[in-house]
Amino acid sequence: MGVPFSIISFYLLSLLLLANNLSAHPLCIDSSYPLTLKSPLKFCHYDGSSCCNSKQDMQLQKQFQSMNVSDSACASIVKSILCARCDQFSAELFRVNSVPRSVPVLCNSTLSSTSPQSSQAAGNFCSKVWDTCMNVSVLNSPFSPSLQRQAGSSVNSNLTKITEMWQSKTDFCNALGEASEDGSLCFGGEPVSLNNTAEPPSSPSGLCLEKIGNGSYLSMVPHPDGSNRVFFSNQQGKIWLAKLPKEGSGGVIEFDESRPFLDLSDIVHFDAEFGLMSIAIHPRFAENGRFFASFNCDKTEWHGCEGRCACNSDVDCDPSMLPTDNGAQPCQYQSVIAEFSVGGTNTKPLMATSANPAEVRRIFTMGLPFTSHHGGQIIFGPDGHLYYMMGDGGGSGDPYNFAQNKRSLLGKIMRFDVNTFPSASEISTEGLWGNYTIPKDNPYINDNQSQPEIWASGLRNPWRCSFDAERPSYFLCTDVGQDMTEEVNIITKGGNYGWRVYEGPYPFTPLTSPGGNTSLNSINPIFPVMGYNHSAVSSKQGSASITGGYFYRSSTDPCMSGRYLYADLYGGAMWEGTEFPEESGNFTSSLLSFSCAADSPIKCSSVPGSSLPALGYIFSFGEDQNKDVYVLSSSGVYRVVRSSRCKYTCSKENTADVSVLSPAPSPSPSRSSASQLSKHLCMSLVILLSSLVMVWLDI
């Protein structure tokens, strides 16, 4: 049956009004990072960073010419809208809640008095589009309502004017426009630029910690039941299910050390850079009880430790030519991802207190050419796929250039679908390294010269990555440097982070290069958004190695809200990274003062001759269900607590006392006021009702 345009507009408006939840660092429609243009685009005239190359620019020109827009003023507007696909923020301009669009979200100041665009004309751009083009014929018009419901659907070629497609300017701008409050983006006719007139936020006065455990762990994962339970894993191979105390209660972590949730120490090879590296809980754990572990094994000690060597003919590497590394033969040690299940067949997964140590499924196995730089973290992304962080395999300066070789999985971030499994013949014919399938939108799935598992490349040794709880497209990974610098990267689809052509933003020349070199001009590297040079900490410990953390999203310390927390493994130094302007992808970072609360449940020892708490090595960070952040160090487990407990000043803390004492399971968005939250709740109800209407109308 036919559907009135007003209903379509209502449905689209409901989606558009939730655009405030979008993230908006530079990101293209396909989730890749913008290119650095060597010369401006000829048709779209974008310069600097763009999501289009010269070939795509030419395709847009041909599309524009086929529209045969007779009016010059309207033609200029249509061209700018087509070219918005080249904007460095095009991913956010062309989708709302993952709904694809044929035109970007148009700035429409009539929906609100605020707009991120600097001029009034930009804020009223949707009205300008209507007024200028309403009676102009445009072949294959991008303004068709059917395209707004599903980009790429068929268009009624008899409808060429906007007035033939939409009943009124109000309907048109309700569906295609957005006021873009709270930093979300809209298109105002020119390349998007964010408002940077405000003052950058000041750094917190300090970070307060309380010590709640003495154990040393590499991973901490919250239990998916929403409780105060978490999983801890140590490098030796044991995993425990523990209870966390409330902040400020004086309690400590509770668990029975003699009864681990899962004990893999018999098969895990433990050494300086080997061990149980990470654990991950399946997003549907409550239904399927699936539990994953990433670890290293020694094939001379365990018959199940057997996989294909990363040094092989595919990457022009001969294992017999590799030097022994610390007495180990090439690929004696393996990196493994294995799946386990909880309890028995009659056990409800959320109630289980142990996991079956028998391996359910081997997801991935790869032999390592050297004894270092193999990352090992696994995390499930917001898309439900499993991400695996792998270093360059070791050897000073990545001598075999594995990180830049897309036929190699070393120096990469991989992305697996562990919900769909291939047959044995598919594993052998497709060259897979284990029991998984390749997500259909992986960037190199159709590239015969690249491994389809790869999501991003050019990394030396990624050590701790996380997705921002409020902005899922902010996927941050820290990467350990070699000679000069440590880096924090925003990871994007197909991104190349430079190693070993670059170390951070600096060109790098290896001492030896039996695996060949990659030229500076042959790659389009994405440089770090934060980091630090080794000189910043070398005077303390003589070395530097970065440990990644989280965007702080808890209400416990409101002055840390929205800041990215990371640390140096050896130096005992911590930094906070702040994005300014908001949603720009531009970060500044500053050293944090930190101390231990006088009323800490476990007394903190101090660094000799200093008031700093003796954290030892900062191995990792953790996050619980309330988004409180934890420091996992060689001296114990520390929680970030209210700054006033360490006599730091936070002007926002008094208004947050109630939520601090009784933290809510889901913290409020950092940029939303109570009225804005009410609006979002109302809009959610609107979407629910509109969805019911759509079902009733069989749309």
What are the domain boundaries of the chain?
Answer: 5-183, 274-460+481-529
> For residue 581, is the peptide bond before it cis, meaning its omega torsion is within 30 degrees of 0?
yes
Q: What distance separates the 2 farthest-apart alpha carbons in the chain? A: 81
pLDDT at 526: 96
Q: Tens of pLDDT along 186-205?
A: 899 999 888 777 788 888 99
146-171: per-residue pLDDT in tens? 765 444 444 445 668 999 999 999 99
Burial 635-648 (b: 16+ CB within 10 A, else e): bbbbbbbbbbbbeb
What is the spatial distance between Cα 294 and Cα 618, in angstroms, rounded to a whole number?
20
Q: How far apart are CA 35 and CA 28, in angstroms?
A: 9
Contact present, 390 and 414 (Cβ < 8 Å): yes
What integer pLDDT is reported at residue 17 of this predicted model? 33
Distance CA 552, CA 696 (A): 42
Q: What is the pLDDT of residues 431-463, one digit of tens each?
A: 899 999 999 999 999 999 999 999 999 999 999
Smallest CA-to-CA distance from 578 within 590, 567, 565, 587 is with 587
672/685 Cα distance (integer angstroms): 18
Q: Could you tell me which residues come within 8 angstroms of residue 604 by beta carbon, excluding any fewer than 6 positions away?
A: 209, 211, 596, 613, 614, 638
Which one-letter amino acid corresponds to residue 661? L
pLDDT value of residue 540? 52
CB neighbours of residue 303 within 10 Å: 7
As given in the structure block, the two tokens for residue 483 are 């000679």
Give pTM, 2 decimals. Answer: 0.87
Alpha-carbon distance of 7 to 692, in angstroms, equals: 12
Residue 541 has a pLDDT of 53
Encoded tokens for 422: 């291939």
The rounded distance, in Å, linking the Cα atoms of 138 and 436 is 47
For residue 164, give every residue at least 6 positions away whose Cβ sits within 8 Å of its Cβ, in sequence order, or none: none
- Parts of the chain with a pLDDT under 70: 1-24, 96-99, 110-122, 147-159, 180-184, 344-346, 538-543, 655-699
Q: What is the pLDDT of residue 678?
A: 38
What is the pLDDT, as a whole number, of residue 403? 98
pLDDT at 533: 92
Structure tokens at 532: 């630090």
